[in-house]
Amino acid sequence: MASPDNKFSRLGALALAALLAVALAGCGTPAPEVTYTSLSGEKITSQSLRGKVVMVNFWATSCTTCVKEMPEMVKTYNKFQGKGLEFLAVAMSYDPPNYVLNYAQTRSLPFKVALDADGALAKAFGDIKLTPTTFVIDKKGNILKRYVGEPDFAELHQLLDKALAA
């Protein structure tokens, strides 16, 4: 019979494995073929982004973590855009478009901001419910990493350096 300590360590190991599986889900798989519509009405397809490393950040103006991380996202974009990084901030379907537009304008967001009016983009990326959720997509269109919550920006920058050099 297993001792209580062994039972708990097995449960802990199973919980850790499950958490890791969730964190890695989708990594290395192709990003969905979608069309983003920017605030200016520009259509951006997944295909048109091939050859670039892309960050897709699902966020909302009502999400405190999203608002907190946005200045770091801007710094990240500014640091890597000259090396081939594209960045799309995708506002969730429940976020009023006028709030998104106001936020983007008053913060002078330097990257493209897209509206997910019908929720199709969030659904295509695995039915995103939690914000912020950020994907890093390589030059071939494969998902390298998914961050749920605010990323570790030092780790993210290392990943972007590696992906952009590839």
pLDDT digits (tens, 9 = 90+) for 59-116: 999 999 999 999 999 999 999 999 999 999 999 999 999 999 999 999 999 999 999 9
The answer on 52 and 17 residing in a single domain is no
The answer on 119 and 51 residing in a single domain is yes
Give the closest residue to 122 by CA, choosing from 55, 37, 59, 48: 59
The answer on 117 and 35 residing in a single domain is yes
The answer on 99 and 21 residing in a single domain is no
Domain span at residue 8 reads 1-27
SS (H, E, C) 135-152: EEECCCCEEEEEEECCCC
Average pLDDT score over residue span 115-131? 97
The answer on 97 and 58 residing in a single domain is yes
pLDDT digits (tens, 9 = 90+) for 2-28: 444 544 444 444 434 444 444 444 468
- Our count of domains for the chain comes to 2
The answer on 103 and 146 residing in a single domain is yes
Helix (H) or strand (E) holding 9: helix 4-24
Question: Using an 8 Å Cβ cutoff, are 95 and 114 in contact?
Answer: no
Helices (H), 51-112: 64-80, 97-106
The answer on 60 and 73 residing in a single domain is yes
